[in-house]
Amino acid sequence: MALLELKNVSKIYGDLKALNDVSISVEKGEWVAIMGPSGSGKSTMMNIIGCMDKPSVGEVLLDGVDISKEPQKVLTDIRREKIGLIFQQFHMVTYLTAVENVMVSQYYHSMPDEAEALEALDRVGLKERAKHLPGQLSGGEQQRVCVARALINHPELILADEPTGNLDETNENIVLDLFRQLHREGTTLIVVTHDPEVAEAAQRTIVLEHGRVAREIINENFEA
């Protein structure tokens, strides 16, 4: 059964159809890349999948639940329980240390556990920087903290909106390696990217153009 299914989803802002009759489906454990030119509706789609926005038309089934019909409160619960988010601009709470930022995610999910948070930071290679504030970390390091934060609660689905957009080669590879690990652990990954290299790391690439699905590319060379 598909973990995520979008059925004829449109998002309309006045005259503009940011998403125009989009239907896609993502299997559990699948790694999907989403590409497309600027303004094609990628972030709009991620917002809807991430339970932060509702479609104007259509159904969005996440684990069999139509999240387009649920109230805000339930959406928050679903987001907290099932989804890990990674953003292009490494959003961190500026006055909390790296480990505390990871713990914030635990705090809203269940129980803050410093040891577990440190373990997650270790996984992204940042155990040494755990006590640093975001201002003391580089962009790549901040993004790795955000990855650690996204995976700390073991979400079923990780949504990443241009996770490598601001990273250099080395950091990009570190993040991609983390995605590979998560994929091997069975986590479903949806990654928005402009970078063909990042897209090639995924099993499948969905290309959006003017709010529509232009084409889908299966990555023949995918290696887990």
Partner 1 sequence: MTKRRMFLRMITASLLRRRSRMLIALLSIAVGATILSGLVTIYIDVPRQMGAQFRSYGANMILLPKEGTHMTAESLQEVLGVIPEAEIVGASPYRYVRLDMPSRQQSFITAGTEFSQVQKTSPYFSVEGAYPEKTREVLVGKEIAETLGIKTGSSIELHYKTSGTAGQGQAADAAAGETLTGSAEGFNKVIVTADLVLDEEGKIASVSVDAASQTPGIGSLVGTDRQFLDQFIGKKLPLSLSNTASGEDAADEDHVVDAVTGATISSQAAVDAMNNAVLSGEAAPVERAEQFTVTGILSTGGEEEGYVYMSLPDLEKLTADNAVDVAELSVTADAEVLEEYCRAVSEANPDVTARLVKRVTRSEASVLGKLQALVFLVTVVVLLLTMICVSTTMLAVVSERRREIGLRKALGAADNSIRKEFLGEGLFLGGLGGLIGAALGFGFAQVVSVNVFGSSISFQPLLLPVTVLVSMVIAAVSCQMPIKRAVAIDPAIVLKGE
Ligand X SMILES: Nc1ncnc2c1ncn2[C@@H]1O[C@H](COP(=O)(O)OP(=O)(O)OP(=O)(O)O)[C@@H](O)[C@H]1O
Q: Is 221 in the site for ligand X (CB under 6 A)?
A: no
Fill in the per-residue mask, 129 to 168: x = in contact with partner 1 (CB under 8 A), - = not in contact: ----x---------------x-----------x-------
Closest CA to 116 of 219, 108, 105: 105
Contact flag: residue 100 with partner 1 (CB under 8 A): yes
The torsion region of residue 205 among left (phi > 0), alpha (psi -120 to 50) and beta comes to beta
Residue from 20, 43, 101, 188 that binds Mg ion (CB under 5 A)? Answer: 43
Other beta carbons less than 10 A from residue 209's beta carbon:
15
Query: Is 123 one of the binding residues for partner 1 (CB under 8 A)?
Result: no
User: Closer to ligand X at the Cβ: 13 or 95?
Assistant: 13
> Nearest distance from residue 45's CB to ligand X, in Å?
7
Cα 59 from Cα 66, distance rounded (Å): 6
Dist. CA 164–CA 98, nearest whole Å: 19
Q: Tokens 């803050």 map to which residue?
A: 112
Residue 38 binds which of partner 1, Mg ion, ligand X, none (CB < 5-8 A, kind-dependent): ligand X
